[in-house]
Structure 1
Amino acid sequence: MRLVELLEEPLKINRHLNKAERQDLVSAIMEKTFIPPSLAGRYPTELSGGQRQRVSLARTLLVRPKIIIADEPLSGLDTILRYQLLKLMLELKEEYGLSYLLISHDLQMISSVCNRVAVMYRGKLVEVMESGNMSSAVHPYTKMLLAGLALELEEGHDLHHHAEDGQGCGFAGRCPVHLPICHQETPSLKGVSENHLCACHLA
């Protein structure tokens, strides 16, 4: 499909509009998300990474969502494009009253957009806190993410060690400060301070 057809598709499926109404909405959302009219006849493969991200955002907005779930929305973009898309997301959040659920390893980006941050490791929540309280992170994995050590963590340590028998902390085999209890008992998510939860025996 060409870009204009991609944008019209959700309107055909989710909203009862005639052709002229769809075209008006598509033109308006393209302007809102800084997609030049000259791109309307192009195919997705002819667009840059930043343009494709904006098209995805535009398609989503056309169905008037209350919440947008985005998985690594800024991945693969250079610094300038990341800034532009993030700025656009914040503006649209205010204008449309949107809520975002963002999935990312980029905690700096997450904290600048979101009110609350939930950190997961191997599918389990290990820490939940206010985004403005990131400097008070307690869990070792959260601290590594904040320090930008996530990739080093994945490339090093024992990748296969985690509580396969259901006992112990799943992060124990990679944790730089683990204790014997970490390999024996699974920590529960508990309150550390107001609006701050952590699943760690050291918390």
Structure 2
Amino acid sequence: MARESKFTKRDLYKFTHHLLLQHGYAGFHFGLLAEKLNITRAALYKYFNNKDELITEYMAFEMERFLKDLEKIGEYPRFEDQLDFLLKVILKYSNIHQILSLAFQIPKSKHEKVNQTLQQLEHQHEKMYALLNSFIQLGKKEKILKPELPDHLLLGFIFNTVNIPNRSQLPEEAWTNLIKEFLCYGMFRRKCN
């Protein structure tokens, strides 16, 4: 039996993060988390009514951290500087896209706190989209991005390219440069017919 002990919010979120990535939403449960924290499940229920309450609170926390960094994109006047900054921020939070996609698996709840946090996540997502949309519009205004490509397609390529694992174990700067080269110039030596 796990002993009753104190745990920090940092440890709670760290293990929640790892367990969500490892087991997904359906496989995540308080028993796994309690084992990692070396506490009883009852200790977790003192703070959270259910796993959805914990997971949504954790997601809102991560999204807020991401947005705080992302908001600094406006400090860079040129699109290419914003792209460099954006890639660094996305790589810093490389798992956030995967974690936040789990929010769609959380059903509407009878617990008001869960529903409020899901609504907060929706507002945070809208704020993120507005920041990224401004970035895309700047690229089109500077005639760097093709105007005929839809904004959501451009953003999708950026996020999904960054989600590719660095299996070569390249240093972060080299990996970022490869991603940027791919985004800017594609994978072909010549234009396809």
Band of TM-score, shorter chain: under 0.3
Q: Which has the higher contact order (CA 8 A, sep 6+)?
A: 2
TM-score by length of 1: 0.24
TM-score (norm 2): 0.25
Which structure has greater helix proportion? 2
